[in-house]
Structure 1
Amino acid sequence: MNKYRLRAIGLLIAIACASCGEWLYLIALNLKVYDEAGQTAAAVAILYMIKPAAGLLMNIWAGSIIDRLDNRKLMILLYVIRISGIAGMIMANSLWQIYVLVFFVAAAGAIFEPVSLPYITGLIQKRHWQKFNSYRAIADGSGFVLGPAAAGILVGAGSVEAALGTNIMLLLLAVVVIIALPSVKVISEERDERKWLQIWKEDWHLVTAFSKKSVMLTLLLLLFSCITVMTAAVDSMEVAFSAEAIGLSEPAYGMLVSIAGIGFITGSMLLAAVSRYFQSIQLLTYGAAGGALGYVLFAFSQSFLPASAGVFILSGALAFSNAGYVTYMQEHIPVEQMGRILSMYQSIEAILIIGMTAVLAGINQLTDVAAAVQTGCLIMLLLAIMLGISSNKVKEKKEVG
């Protein structure tokens, strides 16, 4: 039992290091591209197009590989790719080199979750899934708070390269932890002589058949994915909305981001304390509803105080919804098929993110940023209501059964 606990703690440390490094990377990369492009905002905007594009290209086919390889070794390889890409960015001296490296780092990051979730599911005992996911929210939240703070200190005291170098050190620490952990065998089948295209088609058929067989599960995951899509689309306009609609200065916006981090940590700690009293589907639906209400409050704010209340609520609720979502998938998706199902669902999600971001940008051009953000948040609230109704039907069906 002590060895098992050490493994779980080690995994949480690796997650916290990667989360903190991700925020360091995001902030430092934005500043590096902004400076490299001669302080052109459009150059930074391209970064937000590369990530979903890389996710779309990778997740379409990556699941077929994920379920057939050792997840732990694949996680290590993906960490190495990200470390190599970030090291290359430090030495890059042109914008196009940075974009190419960003694509490879984003591609590795896009398939990391479909790789890591089956590994976590196999390593952590079933009765501890929800508890582990609640502590995982705290690990992610620590990165949410410490990452931007560390980036500000490093960039202010040294340079953007110092922040990227610190990210590399954190990822190396995560690699060392993963190397120390045991492998979990969740390989679905032995190697065969079939052509890759045939395997890929069969895997898509498997995902389609699973989705048709588990209609309510698919509906719940689809609705939550749509909520995630709307949050990504709204977040892409957050800076402009805060400045133009609410009139926040840069220091006030920085304070708003800090409040969001505090909200996430608070929600994560509350989740760890009360998660045992709730089912995963309840965490999913309550968290989604709270998050949508927080976004609506933020979208209709006209001053700092209600806006800060909104981001605090939505960030805290995010910890609940994410933990519920991950646990619900672990409970209902076979671990030997999880990589394929999750990666292919995420490829659809990437398409929707690109589409909805474009739609809200179009609304912004036709009216203003406030109308675009308010439209996105109201759609999010409608989706959360639909998710709540669907989850009630699932619980009623279980009770009848």
Structure 2
Amino acid sequence: MTITGSEATTRKQPAIPDSPPPPRPADERSRGTFASLKVRNYRLFFGGQIISNIGTWMQRIAQDWLVFELSGYDPVALGIAVALQFMPTVLLSLWAGVLADRVDKRKLLIGIQTGVAVQALALGLLVLSGTAQLWQVYTLAFVLGTLSALEVPTRQSFVSEMVGRDQAANAVALNSSIFNLARIVGPAIAGFAIVLVGTGWLFVANAASTIAVIAGLALMNPTELYRAPAVARAKGQLREGLRYVRSRPDLMTVMVLVFFVSTFGITFFTSLAIVSANVFGTEADGYGMLSTLLAVGTFTGALVAARRGSRGGPSLRLLLMSAAALGALEFIGAFMPTYLTFGLALVPLGFATITFLTTANALVQTTVSAQMRGRVMGLYVLVLMGGNPIGGPLTGWMAETFGGRSPFYIGGAVALAAALVCGYLALRARERIGGTQPLPAG
């Protein structure tokens, strides 16, 4: 992946438009909250994701609680598990973006999802047989992280390939809506199922749910995809993508802000379990309920984002405002005195969180060249998730040192500060490029 001297700079490369499939009826181009669902390939993808994401969230809750149980309710052990699951993102996501630009994304996703099913089944069988040990859970968390590092950039860049650039923002928001609908249903099921049957069957259920994704991908019509010309294998493609982002001030602002907010502010996978068990003294069902309340806000926010995405493109202003709101709400929520008030504070926090994430994703997807999309999304996933190997153990350390609420008030303060600094820098950039003119969208 080293660059050659003969390689053309990305500044001089024109954006290559999405290659259109056969024309679709006019009603399929109509606007609305669910506009993207009028595309058959996306409907198949959407249906599979609904089922699979419920299983994914059940596994996430089950894995967190399993680590907690095996470690004697040690928050640092939970942070280590989170770090192991997200560490492969740091190592592989950029390369995964290059791979996504080179190969058939649909076929690659089928292979990756098959691996996810095997991982979940293996973990389930270990638990059901009574032989699960902490090191085995850590190992399988790392395996799942490796598969996710390959899957996320591929899946996210595949969204525009299914619906085209005009509907990308709407489809991104709809993806978030089903992800967060599953985040409501999955933890609620998992919390009570863990109490009734233990964690093992939840891993098996997730393995079964993955079949829905594989089936949806297999049933798609490849001729109806908005595919860019394939990027031939060549040296320097990774650096080419990095140089492309570096030449874009708007993309650099998004990447920097996403890194700080996701690493320090969006640590809910670890911090909610800690607050549930160590602050309010609840069991797995209490943890599941907090996750569900957070997801009520994120699901509502995703639906609002879907409607907004069908009417117009995302904006840097909205990204900065939602980041600031996320930080402020997280900081305030940290000091809620009771389990009920803390849970209710998670609803607006979830709304702000998903507004921030969908806006960032849509900004990246809709403003980059089609042939660069995989590599840029690889970098986006790196800054979004790559900080978790830092944030996971750091969250556990803060909770152990300063108390279970500290990840919320410290993380909220960092997110708010990042939003204010990036907003100031964006304002300075706007003044440099033309007084009161807005920053270019790309």
For the aligned pair, the TM-score class normalised by the smaller chain equals 0.7 to 0.9
**1:333-363, CA deviations, whole angstroms, 9 ceiling, x for partnerless residues?**
2222222233245445555333344455555
Q: CA deviation at 1:48?
A: 1.3
In 2, are the aligned partners of 1:55 and 1:106 still within 8 Å (CA)? yes
Q: CA deviation at 1:68?
A: 0.9
Structure 2: how far apart are the matches of 1:284 and 1:57? 27
Aligned mate of 1:9, from 43, 47, 62: 43
2:110 paired residue number: 76
Output the CA distance in 2 between the equivalents of 1:261 and 1:109.
21
Give the percent of matched residue pairs that are identical in Structure 1 and Structure 2.
Answer: 16
Please show how residues 14-25 of structure 1 align to structure 2 within 5 Å: 14-25=48-59
**Residues 1:102 and 2:141 aligned together:** yes
1:131 to 159, 170, 175: 170
Cross-structure match for 2:12 = none
Gap change, CA 1:350 and 1:10, over 3 Å in 2? closer
2:320 is equivalent to residue 285 of structure 1: yes
**Larger mean Cα displacement after TM superposition, 18-27 or 71-80:** 18-27
CA deviation vs aligned residue, 1:78-110 (integer Å, no higher than 9, x gap): 101101111222333343444333322221112
Task: Extract unaligned runs of 5+ from structure 2.
Answer: 1-23, 29-37
CA contact (8 A) 1:263 1:316 kept: yes
Q: 1:329, CA displacement in angstroms?
A: 0.7
Which range moves more in the overlay, 174-183 or 160-169? 160-169
1:117 Cα deviation from its structure 2 partner? 1.8
TM-score by length of 1: 0.85
Tell me the amino acid that sits aligned with residue 178 of structure 1. Answer: L
1:70 and 1:186 in contact (8 A); partners too: no
**Which residue, 182, 187, 192 being the options, matches 2:221?**
182
How far 1:115 moved relative to its partner? 0.4
- Which residue does 2:15 correspond to in 1? none
SS at match of 1:301: coil
User: Which digits, 9 at most, give the CA deviation of each residue in 1:156-196, with x for residues without a partner?
Assistant: 4444332222212211011100111134444543346xxxx
Question: By how many angstroms is 1:235 displaced?
Answer: 5.0
Distance 1:40 1:249 in 2: 12
* Contact 1:248-1:304 at 8 Å conserved across structures: no
* 1:257 and 2:299 correspond: no
**Runs of at least 5 residues in structure 1 that lack an aligned partner in the other structure:** 193-198
TM superposition shift of 1:143: 0.6
1:302 is paired with a residue whose SS is coil
Deviation of 1:321 after TM superposition, in Å, equals: 1.8
| Contact 2:262–2:387 (8 Å) recurs in 1 | no
Corresponding residue for 1:196?
A: none
Point out the more displaced range, 86-95 or 113-122: 86-95
Contact 1:290–1:317 (8 Å) recurs in 2: yes
The one of 228, 232, 236 aligned to 2:270: 236
Q: How many residues are treated as equivalent by the alignment?
A: 391
Paired with 2:402 and 2:64, the residues of 1 have a C-alpha distance of: 28
Q: Evaluate the alpha carbon distance shift between residue 269 and residue 78 of structure 1 in structure 2; reply closer, same or farther with a 3 A threshold.
A: same
Contact 2:262/2:385, CA 8 A, preserved across alignment: no
SS of corresponding position for 1:67: helix
- Taking a change above 3 Å as real, the CA distance of residues 149 and 107 of structure 1, as seen in their structure-2 partners, is same
Question: What TM-score, normalized to structure 2?
Answer: 0.78
Match of 1:173 in 2: 212
Question: What amino acid is the match of 2:297?
Answer: G
Could you say what secondary structure the match of 2:387 adopts? helix
1:271 aligns with 2:305: yes
User: Corresponding residue for 1:220?
Assistant: 254
More helix by share: 1
Alignment of 1:2-401 (within 5 A): 5-33=39-67, 37=70, 39=72, 41=74, 44-92=78-126, 93-95=131-133, 96-183=135-222, 184=225, 185-186=227-228, 188-191=230-233, 199=235, 202-233=236-267, 236-241=270-275, 247=280, 249-250=282-283, 253-276=287-310, 279-281=313-315, 282-347=317-382, 350=385, 352-364=387-399, 366-390=401-425, 397=433, 399=437
- Which one-letter code corresponds to 2:104 in the other structure? D
SS in structure 2 of the partner of residue 280 of structure 1: coil
